[in-house]
Protein backbone atom coordinates (compact mmCIF):
# COMPACT_ATOMS: atom_id res chain seq x y z
CA UNK A 1 0.00 0.00 0.00
CA UNK A 2 1.55 3.30 -1.07
CA UNK A 3 2.36 5.70 1.77
CA UNK A 4 1.85 9.20 0.38
CA UNK A 5 2.48 11.27 3.49
CA UNK A 6 4.04 10.99 6.93
CA UNK A 7 3.17 14.01 9.04
CA UNK A 8 3.88 15.04 12.60
CA UNK A 9 1.28 12.57 13.84
CA UNK A 10 -0.50 10.94 10.86
CA UNK A 11 0.49 8.44 8.21
CA UNK A 12 -1.55 8.59 5.00
CA UNK A 13 -1.82 5.62 2.62
CA UNK A 14 -3.36 5.62 -0.84
CA UNK A 15 -5.89 2.79 -1.11
CA UNK A 16 -6.99 3.55 -4.66
CA UNK A 17 -7.83 6.52 -6.89
CA UNK A 18 -10.50 7.90 -4.59
CA UNK A 19 -9.77 6.53 -1.09
CA UNK A 20 -7.11 7.01 1.57
CA UNK A 21 -6.38 5.34 4.88
CA UNK A 22 -5.38 7.69 7.70
CA UNK A 23 -3.43 6.13 10.56
CA UNK A 24 -2.96 8.20 13.71
CA UNK A 25 0.29 7.49 15.54
CA UNK A 26 1.15 8.07 19.20
CA UNK A 27 3.74 10.70 18.26
CA UNK A 28 3.40 14.14 19.83
CA UNK A 29 4.63 17.47 18.50
CA UNK A 30 5.12 20.81 20.19
CA UNK A 31 6.50 24.11 18.92
CA UNK A 32 6.74 22.53 15.46
CA UNK A 33 9.02 19.73 16.68
CA UNK A 34 8.15 16.03 16.79
CA UNK A 35 9.15 15.10 20.33
CA UNK A 36 11.28 12.02 21.15
CA UNK A 37 8.48 10.28 23.03
CA UNK A 38 5.24 8.52 22.20
CA UNK A 39 2.10 9.01 24.28
CA UNK A 40 0.41 5.61 24.72
CA UNK A 41 -3.15 5.50 23.29
CA UNK A 42 -2.89 9.05 21.95
CA UNK A 43 -3.53 8.02 18.34
CA UNK A 44 -6.61 6.03 19.31
CA UNK A 45 -7.99 8.94 21.34
CA UNK A 46 -7.47 11.39 18.47
CA UNK A 47 -9.02 9.06 15.89
CA UNK A 48 -12.05 8.21 18.01
CA UNK A 49 -12.74 11.81 19.10
CA UNK A 50 -12.58 12.88 15.45
CA UNK A 51 -15.01 10.11 14.47
CA UNK A 52 -17.40 11.29 17.19
CA UNK A 53 -17.34 14.91 16.01
CA UNK A 54 -17.54 14.07 12.29
CA UNK A 55 -20.81 12.27 13.04
CA UNK A 56 -22.00 15.05 15.34
CA UNK A 57 -21.74 17.79 12.67
CA UNK A 58 -22.73 15.82 9.57
CA UNK A 59 -25.99 17.82 9.47
CA UNK A 60 -23.92 21.00 8.96
CA UNK A 61 -21.36 19.78 6.44
CA UNK A 62 -20.45 16.46 4.80
CA UNK A 63 -17.18 14.83 5.85
CA UNK A 64 -14.62 12.50 4.31
CA UNK A 65 -15.21 9.44 6.56
CA UNK A 66 -16.12 6.17 4.82
CA UNK A 67 -15.50 3.81 7.76
CA UNK A 68 -13.64 3.44 11.04
CA UNK A 69 -14.36 -0.31 11.15
CA UNK A 70 -11.22 -2.34 10.53
CA UNK A 71 -13.30 -4.97 8.66
CA UNK A 72 -13.90 -2.38 5.92
CA UNK A 73 -10.18 -1.65 5.46
CA UNK A 74 -7.91 -3.23 2.85
CA UNK A 75 -6.65 -6.59 4.16
CA UNK A 76 -3.15 -5.18 4.77
CA UNK A 77 -4.65 -3.00 7.51
CA UNK A 78 -6.89 -5.58 9.16
CA UNK A 79 -4.40 -6.13 12.00
CA UNK A 80 -4.45 -5.09 15.67
CA UNK A 81 -1.86 -2.33 15.20
CA UNK A 82 -4.33 -0.35 13.05
CA UNK A 83 -7.49 -1.00 15.07
CA UNK A 84 -9.01 2.05 16.74
CA UNK A 85 -6.47 4.47 15.27
CA UNK A 86 -7.34 4.36 11.57
CA UNK A 87 -9.97 5.79 9.28
CA UNK A 88 -10.89 4.97 5.66
CA UNK A 89 -11.71 8.27 3.96
CA UNK A 90 -12.59 9.82 0.63
CA UNK A 91 -9.74 11.50 -1.18
CA UNK A 92 -10.26 15.27 -1.31
CA UNK A 93 -8.55 18.22 -2.92
CA UNK A 94 -7.50 19.87 0.34
CA UNK A 95 -7.66 23.64 0.53
CA UNK A 96 -4.42 25.51 1.41
CA UNK A 97 -5.91 27.21 4.47
CA UNK A 98 -6.06 26.26 8.16
CA UNK A 99 -9.47 27.37 9.39
CA UNK A 100 -8.81 28.58 12.93
CA UNK A 101 -11.67 29.76 15.13
CA UNK A 102 -11.21 31.40 18.52
CA UNK A 103 -13.95 31.64 21.12
CA UNK A 104 -11.66 32.81 23.92
CA UNK A 105 -8.65 35.13 24.02
CA UNK A 106 -5.56 33.02 24.79
CA UNK A 107 -2.23 31.86 23.40
CA UNK A 108 -0.86 33.81 20.44
CA UNK A 109 -4.19 35.66 20.23
CA UNK A 110 -3.70 37.03 23.75
CA UNK A 111 -0.12 38.06 22.93
CA UNK A 112 -1.30 39.93 19.83
CA UNK A 113 -4.19 41.55 21.70
CA UNK A 114 -1.85 42.88 24.40
CA UNK A 115 0.34 44.43 21.72
CA UNK A 116 -2.27 46.23 19.63
CA UNK A 117 -5.81 45.24 20.61
CA UNK A 118 -6.29 42.98 17.60
CA UNK A 119 -6.06 39.29 16.70
CA UNK A 120 -5.09 38.60 13.08
CA UNK A 121 -6.14 42.14 12.20
CA UNK A 122 -9.56 41.82 13.85
CA UNK A 123 -10.22 44.67 16.29
CA UNK A 124 -11.49 43.38 19.65
CA UNK A 125 -13.16 45.21 22.56
CA UNK A 126 -10.93 47.05 25.02
CA UNK A 127 -9.97 45.71 28.45
CA UNK A 128 -10.35 42.01 27.74
CA UNK A 129 -8.59 39.75 30.22
CA UNK A 130 -6.54 36.65 29.45
CA UNK A 131 -8.74 33.61 28.72
CA UNK A 132 -11.90 35.72 28.57
CA UNK A 133 -14.74 34.58 26.34
CA UNK A 134 -15.05 36.72 23.22
CA UNK A 135 -18.36 38.45 22.44
CA UNK A 136 -18.61 36.06 19.49
CA UNK A 137 -16.18 33.56 17.94
CA UNK A 138 -13.75 34.95 15.37
CA UNK A 139 -12.32 33.33 12.22
CA UNK A 140 -8.52 33.72 12.09
CA UNK A 141 -7.18 31.60 9.21
CA UNK A 142 -3.56 30.72 8.53
CA UNK A 143 -1.47 29.16 5.81
CA UNK A 144 -0.50 25.49 5.99
CA UNK A 145 3.21 25.15 6.66
CA UNK A 146 5.45 22.26 5.76
CA UNK A 147 6.94 20.29 8.69
CA UNK A 148 9.58 22.45 10.35
CA UNK A 149 8.06 25.71 9.12
CA UNK A 150 5.59 27.92 10.94
CA UNK A 151 2.02 28.58 9.87
CA UNK A 152 1.44 32.22 8.96
CA UNK A 153 -1.71 34.10 9.98
CA UNK A 154 -3.60 35.59 7.05
CA UNK A 155 -6.63 37.84 6.77
CA UNK A 156 -10.04 36.82 5.45
CA UNK A 157 -9.32 39.07 2.46
CA UNK A 158 -6.22 37.00 1.70
CA UNK A 159 -8.32 33.82 1.85
CA UNK A 160 -10.67 35.43 -0.70
CA UNK A 161 -7.67 36.14 -2.95
CA UNK A 162 -6.55 32.48 -2.68
CA UNK A 163 -9.93 30.78 -3.08
CA UNK A 164 -12.39 33.34 -4.39
CA UNK A 165 -14.91 35.23 -2.24
CA UNK A 166 -17.74 32.68 -2.54
CA UNK A 167 -15.69 29.68 -1.35
CA UNK A 168 -13.85 31.74 1.27
CA UNK A 169 -17.16 32.96 2.72
CA UNK A 170 -18.55 29.43 2.87
CA UNK A 171 -15.34 28.24 4.53
CA UNK A 172 -15.59 30.94 7.20
CA UNK A 173 -19.31 30.41 7.81
CA UNK A 174 -19.04 26.61 8.11
CA UNK A 175 -16.03 26.94 10.42
CA UNK A 176 -17.98 29.19 12.78
CA UNK A 177 -21.13 27.06 12.56
CA UNK A 178 -19.33 23.79 13.37
CA UNK A 179 -17.39 25.40 16.22
CA UNK A 180 -20.52 26.96 17.75
CA UNK A 181 -22.49 23.70 17.75
CA UNK A 182 -19.61 21.69 19.18
CA UNK A 183 -18.60 24.29 21.77
CA UNK A 184 -22.17 24.40 23.11
CA UNK A 185 -22.27 20.62 23.36
CA UNK A 186 -18.83 20.41 24.99
CA UNK A 187 -19.87 23.03 27.56
CA UNK A 188 -22.74 20.75 28.56
CA UNK A 189 -20.10 18.06 29.24
CA UNK A 190 -17.93 20.35 31.37
CA UNK A 191 -15.39 21.18 28.66
CA UNK A 192 -14.63 24.66 27.27
CA UNK A 193 -13.33 24.63 23.69
CA UNK A 194 -11.25 27.80 23.67
CA UNK A 195 -10.12 27.52 20.06
CA UNK A 196 -9.59 24.97 17.33
CA UNK A 197 -8.63 24.50 13.71
CA UNK A 198 -10.41 22.73 10.87
CA UNK A 199 -9.31 21.64 7.43
CA UNK A 200 -11.60 21.39 4.44
CA UNK A 201 -11.32 19.99 0.94
CA UNK A 202 -13.35 19.71 -2.23
CA UNK A 203 -14.80 16.39 -3.40
CA UNK A 204 -15.08 15.17 -6.97
CA UNK A 205 -18.16 17.37 -7.47
CA UNK A 206 -16.44 20.51 -6.14
CA UNK A 207 -18.48 20.40 -2.92
CA UNK A 208 -16.96 21.58 0.36
CA UNK A 209 -16.17 18.66 2.71
CA UNK A 210 -14.76 18.59 6.25
CA UNK A 211 -11.57 16.50 6.44
CA UNK A 212 -8.42 15.76 8.41
CA UNK A 213 -9.24 15.77 12.17
CA UNK A 214 -11.98 17.51 14.14
CA UNK A 215 -11.81 18.99 17.62
CA UNK A 216 -9.13 16.73 19.01
CA UNK A 217 -6.78 17.59 21.88
CA UNK A 218 -4.11 18.18 19.21
CA UNK A 219 -6.08 20.64 17.11
CA UNK A 220 -7.89 22.44 19.96
CA UNK A 221 -7.56 23.95 23.40
CA UNK A 222 -9.82 22.08 25.84
CA UNK A 223 -10.25 23.59 29.31
CA UNK A 224 -12.07 22.00 32.28
CA UNK A 225 -15.05 24.27 32.94
CA UNK A 226 -14.98 23.69 36.69
CA UNK A 227 -11.44 25.15 36.91
CA UNK A 228 -12.03 28.08 34.56
CA UNK A 229 -10.99 31.47 35.96
CA UNK A 230 -10.73 34.60 33.80
CA UNK A 231 -7.50 36.54 33.99
CA UNK A 232 -4.88 33.80 33.74
CA UNK A 233 -3.83 30.81 31.67
CA UNK A 234 -6.00 27.74 32.16
CA UNK A 235 -5.54 24.09 33.05
CA UNK A 236 -5.88 22.02 29.94
CA UNK A 237 -6.88 18.58 28.62
CA UNK A 238 -4.85 18.97 25.48
CA UNK A 239 -1.15 18.98 24.65
CA UNK A 240 -0.84 22.43 26.21
CA UNK A 241 0.31 20.53 29.30
CA UNK A 242 3.31 19.26 27.31
CA UNK A 243 4.00 22.75 25.93
CA UNK A 244 3.86 24.21 29.44
CA UNK A 245 6.21 21.53 30.76
CA UNK A 246 8.70 22.26 27.97
CA UNK A 247 8.63 25.99 28.77
CA UNK A 248 8.83 25.62 32.56
CA UNK A 249 11.51 22.91 32.56
CA UNK A 250 13.77 24.57 30.01
CA UNK A 251 13.65 21.43 27.86
CA UNK A 252 15.00 22.02 24.36
CA UNK A 253 13.11 19.92 21.75
CA UNK A 254 16.07 20.22 19.38
CA UNK A 255 18.22 18.07 21.67
CA UNK A 256 15.75 15.16 21.51
CA UNK A 257 16.61 14.36 25.14
CA UNK A 258 14.33 11.82 26.88
CA UNK A 259 11.08 13.14 28.36
CA UNK A 260 10.32 12.01 31.96
CA UNK A 261 7.92 9.09 32.27
CA UNK A 262 5.60 11.01 34.63
CA UNK A 263 5.19 13.77 32.01
CA UNK A 264 4.29 11.15 29.38
CA UNK A 265 1.78 9.45 31.71
CA UNK A 266 0.13 12.73 32.73
CA UNK A 267 -0.21 13.69 29.07
CA UNK A 268 -1.79 10.31 28.25
CA UNK A 269 -4.28 10.70 31.09
CA UNK A 270 -5.28 14.16 29.88
CA UNK A 271 -6.03 12.83 26.39
CA UNK A 272 -8.12 9.98 27.78
CA UNK A 273 -10.00 12.27 30.16
CA UNK A 274 -10.88 14.58 27.26
CA UNK A 275 -12.24 11.62 25.27
CA UNK A 276 -14.35 10.33 28.14
CA UNK A 277 -15.79 13.71 29.05
CA UNK A 278 -16.72 14.61 25.47
CA UNK A 279 -18.08 11.27 24.27
CA UNK A 280 -19.58 10.12 27.57
CA UNK A 281 -17.94 6.72 26.98
CA UNK A 282 -15.21 4.92 28.88
CA UNK A 283 -12.04 4.70 26.80
CA UNK A 284 -11.44 1.06 25.90
CA UNK A 285 -8.26 1.51 23.88
* pLDDT single digits (tens) 10-19: 999 999 999 9
Q: Evaluate whether 165 touches 131 at the Cβ level (below 8 Å).
A: no
Contacts of 249 (CB under 8 A, 6+ apart): none
pLDDT at 238: 74
Q: Is the pLDDT of residue 149 over 70?
A: no
Rounded (to 5) percent helix, strand, coil in the chain: 35, 30, 35
**Strands 191-202, 65-67: pairing kind:** unpaired
What's the pLDDT tens digit per position in 204-251?
999 999 999 999 988 999 999 999 999 999 988 878 889 889 999 999
Give the mean model confidence (pLDDT) for residues 186-197. 96
pLDDT at 119: 93
What's the pLDDT tens digit per position in 64-80?
999 999 999 999 999 99
Higher pLDDT residue, 171 or 150?
171
- Name the band, by pLDDT with cuts 50, 70 and 90, for residue 151: confident
pLDDT at 1: 74
Amino acid sequence: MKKISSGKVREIYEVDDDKLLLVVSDRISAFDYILPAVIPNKGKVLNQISAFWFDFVKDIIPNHVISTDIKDFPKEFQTPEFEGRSMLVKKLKMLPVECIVRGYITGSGWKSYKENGTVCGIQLPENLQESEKLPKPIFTPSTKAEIGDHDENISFEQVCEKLGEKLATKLRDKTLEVYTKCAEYAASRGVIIADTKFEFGLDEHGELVLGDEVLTPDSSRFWPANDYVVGKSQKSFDKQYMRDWIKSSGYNPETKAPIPEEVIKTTENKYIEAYELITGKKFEG
